Amino acid sequence: MEDLVLQTVSLLASTVRLAVPLILCALAGLFAERSGVVDIGLEGKMLAGAFAAASVAFWLQSAWAGLAAAMLVSIAFALVHGFACITHRGNQVVAGMALNVLAVGLTAVLAFAWFQEGGKTPALADAARFRPLQLPFVAEISTVPVLGTIYARLLSGHNALVYLTAALVPLVAFVVFRTRFGLRLRAVGENPHAVDTAGISVARLRYQAMLASGALCGIAGAYLSTAQSASFLREMTAGKGFLALAALIFGKWMPIPTLFACLLFAFADALQGRLQGVALPGIGVVPVQAIQALPYLLTILLLAGFVGKAHAPRASGIPYSKEK
Amino acid sequence: MKNTALALGFAAALVAAPAFAQTAPAVMFDVGGKFDRSFNQAAFEGAERFKRETGQQYAEFEIRNTAEREQAIRNLARRGASVVVAVGFSNRAAVEIVAKEFPDVKFTLIDSVVDLPNVQSITFREHEGSFLVGMAAAMASKTAKVGFVGGMDIPLIRKFAKGYEEGAKHVNPQIDVIQNMTGTTPAAFADPTRGGELARGQFDRGVDVVYAAAGATGLGVYQAAKDANRLAIGVDSNQNHLHPGTMLTSMIKRVDVAVYNAMSDARKGTWKAGATSLGLKEEGVGYAIDANNRALVTADMERRINEARDAIIAGRLQVTDVTAQR
């Protein structure tokens, strides 16, 4: 019994660790898309942030300096995106894709030039990483059956960025649905003409959304390179930005459903590592290949069948011009 | 017209440029890159040693995706390399095709076998080296649970896993060996995040020594072991220096020696086609003891491992080679 609890809790803790970059990116995408900018560049911003975090954390031996650098670099990328498709009304998807390609190439080239480790950054010492934190009273409570295990292994023992992410989800929900800025943000994604008529700058609102998107992607990048791993590696985002985008659609552009979509994807990912070689009751040992396809199968099934009709913010993807 | 002339000139320059390479060897690294601190890096070090000792440059290519293999090998062959060293089992099909196209060019394939008159195939008996580190793992484990994280799920990696398991069971027949494969594509050799997550999953199941045979993915496994205060075993290169105190030992596979020998034999004219297998007997595989892990390997452990090594060399102890059974 206790072993089963331990296994379940360990699986869920793994889910949390894997979900963090997805959640941060999905929230970033939520800001951008709610304002009417399709943000396919999440992946590139996250990758650039991961590289900036690992480099600066290595030079200054500080994880927090790395985080700040990641957010700045990622915001710079977001502003380039904004400049192309808000100021100059370029195609949002093409501009986002260009950012992704740029990030892949630029990070590898700079990493090679600066560190000569073939596109990696040097391994970070513990002091330059986000290390697991222990919540208070862990030692006392961990002896309590079930609840103690849950507290000690699932709630405690994550790094600062995990707790930051947990706090950001309700914060984003509050900002988007309970503040004046949020109302305007949603309005500009649905009907920018109405917002413009009310005397509010569409471009300014969309730029603000891009700033938020950049900052969040930067945190996601820092998490990948300075919390989850201990260095930057070429293309280490491995499609997480796109998976976050899928979660955002699956979550119908709402913060809480998006959170659960991210957790579901992460759970499937965590599960596949643990099901390998384990005999399931009634089925026996499932082939590795079938288990590894699980997250993708789940994604297709859910998006095809269960999500229902997801309608995007109406003005999403359309550059705004006053004349039309 | 002017453009055509320019283009022709450019093309001529491209053809003429590699003239220096007439006698230079070439090496092609696999996915994971030459700085993976593991398999490819061992090959890189062999090539560097050749350059240092002979003063001769070598051509190199690092592929970024599997579609580039054939083209890359063909390019190296066309430029007249003295020998094209293709590092990694995934190059088997590409070497087979290109070696037929260039019957006068020498090819050395590492980790797989192509039976052609101009191909030298070098394989390693990784199961023998893995057996020894499996013994080390079992003797160091306090929980009687040891783990294995493989890269891509292929017979070659299963060979590591089986040898490791047999070595662990040789010490303690009741021991639990928990195995994970990272993926089913070559990208599984370059995914440290997933490697770390798989290792953590094993630690939660009670594993306290983990062996990674997964190229750059292993870096994530070792980091996770360090973070969780467990022991890890490196692979291919001597990886003991990565995390002193965490790395119990490394299963060394002398890819560097294989690459060096291929290059210098081609230079000396003693290069021969055919298949060679390197194991404990030829010192092609082994386990690493140095200042970084001296404190972790006790004299008793070392004695028992060396006994087993001698028994394997003498043929008194058999280690299963899963790739030979098919």
Nearest by CB: B193 against A120, A123, A229: A229
Give the CA diameter of chain A: 68
Q: Is the pLDDT of residue B288 over 60?
A: yes
Closest CA to A78 of A237, A215, A248: A215
Q: Place A15 in a pLDDT band, splitting at 50, 70 and 90.
A: very high
CA distance A307 to chain B (A): 28
Q: Exposure of A140 by Cβ count < 10 A (0-12 exposed, 13-18 middle, 19+ buried)?
A: exposed
Residue A317 has what pLDDT?
Answer: 83
Residue B234 has what pLDDT?
Answer: 95
Q: In the 8-state DSSP scheme, what is residue A164?
A: H
Q: Place B3 in a pLDDT band, splitting at 50, 70 and 90.
A: low
The reply to whether ipTM tops 0.90 is no
Residue B15 has what pLDDT?
Answer: 46
Share of chain A above pLDDT 90, in %: 59
Residues B165 and B303 in one domain: yes
Residue A249 has what pLDDT?
Answer: 87
Segment B213-232, tens digit of pLDDT: 998 899 999 999 998 999 99
Residue A324 has what pLDDT?
Answer: 61
Which chain A residue has the Cα nearest residue B196? A229
**Would B290 be classed as within a structural domain?**
no
Closest CA to B37 of B300, B308, B242, B248: B242
Residues B162 and B224 in one domain: yes
Closest CA to A47 of A246, A217, A226, A270: A217
Q: Place B2 in a pLDDT band, splitting at 50, 70 and 90.
A: low
Segment B203-217, tens digit of pLDDT: 988 999 999 999 889
Q: Can you give the residue range of the structural domain that contains B264?
A: 2-124+256-278
Dist. CA B266–CA B118, nearest whole Å = 12
Interface probe, candidates B41, B197, B241, B242, chain A, greatest A C-beta count within 10 A? B197
Interface probe, candidates B176, B180, B185, B193, chain A, greatest A C-beta count within 10 A? B193
Q: Place A287 in a pLDDT band, splitting at 50, 70 and 90.
A: confident
How many Cα atoms occupy the beta-carbon half-sphere of B3 within 13 Å? Answer: 0
Closest CA to B92 of B77, B107, B102: B107
* Phi (first) and psi of residue A318, to 5 degrees: -110, 115
**Would B287 be classed as within a structural domain?**
no
Share of chain B above pLDDT 90, in %: 72
Dist. CA A287–CA A289, nearest whole Å = 5
Residues B271 and B309 in one domain: no
Residue A236 has what pLDDT?
Answer: 86
Mean pLDDT of all residues belonging to chain A: 89
Alpha carbon of A193 to those of A82, A200, B134: distances in Å? 19, 10, 69
Q: Place A84 in a pLDDT band, splitting at 50, 70 and 90.
A: very high
Nearest by CB: A229 against B178, B196, B205: B196
Q: Place A66 in a pLDDT band, splitting at 50, 70 and 90.
A: very high
Mean pLDDT of all residues belonging to chain B: 89
**Would B77 be classed as within a structural domain?**
yes
Mean pLDDT, residues A112-127 taken together: 85
B192 and A270 in contact by Cβ < 8 A? no
- The residue that leads in pLDDT, A277 or B276, is B276
Residue A275 has what pLDDT?
Answer: 76
- Residues of A whose CB is below 8 A from B194: 273
Residue B16 has what pLDDT?
Answer: 43
Residues B196 and B315 in one domain: yes
- Say how many domains are in chain B: 2
pTM metric for this prediction = 0.84
Residue B183 has what pLDDT?
Answer: 84
Q: Place B10 in a pLDDT band, splitting at 50, 70 and 90.
A: low
Q: Is the pLDDT of residue B185 over 70?
A: yes
Residues B133 and B243 in one domain: yes
Residues B87 and B214 in one domain: no
B220 and A270 in contact by Cβ < 8 A? no
Residues B245 and B263 in one domain: no
Segment B130-173, tens digit of pLDDT: 999 999 999 999 999 999 999 998 899 999 999 999 999 999 99
| Fold type of domain A2-306 | ABC transporter involved in vitamin B12 uptake, BtuC (1.10.3470)
CB A121 within 8 A of CB A231: yes
Residues B37 and B181 in one domain: no
Nearest by CB: B33 against A6, A118, A132: A118
Interface probe, candidates B36, B176, B204, chain A, greatest A C-beta count within 10 A? B204
**Would B43 be classed as within a structural domain?**
yes
Residues B269 and B198 in one domain: no
Mean pLDDT, residues A65-73 taken together: 97
Segment A184-227, tens digit of pLDDT: 999 999 999 999 999 999 999 999 999 999 999 999 999 999 99
Residues B114 and B138 in one domain: no
Dist. CA B154–CA A288, nearest whole Å = 11
Residues B261 and B308 in one domain: no
Closest CA to B28 of B67, B54, B59: B59
CB A100 within 8 A of CB A86: no
Q: What CATH number is attached to the domain comprising B274? A: 3.40.50.2300
When mean pLDDT is compared across A12-26, A47-61, A264-278, B28-42, the lowest value belongs to A264-278
DSSP-assigned letters across all residues of B100-167:
HH-TTSEEEEESS----TTEEEEEE-HHHHHHHHHHHHHHH-SSSEEEEEEEE-SHHHHHHHHHHHHH
In the numeric block, which tokens belong to residue A162?
A: 């995990």
Q: Is the pLDDT of residue B19 over 70?
A: no
Sign of CA dihedral A130, A136, A140, A146: negative
Q: In the 8-state DSSP scheme, what is residue B186?
A: G
Chain B residue set in contact with A, beta carbons under 8 Å: 33-36, 62, 153, 178-181, 183-184, 187, 190-194, 196-198, 200-201, 204-205, 216, 219-220, 223, 227, 242
Residue B21 has what pLDDT?
Answer: 42
Residue B63 has what pLDDT?
Answer: 84
**Would B118 be classed as within a structural domain?**
yes
**Would B285 be classed as within a structural domain?**
no
Residues B182 and B80 in one domain: no
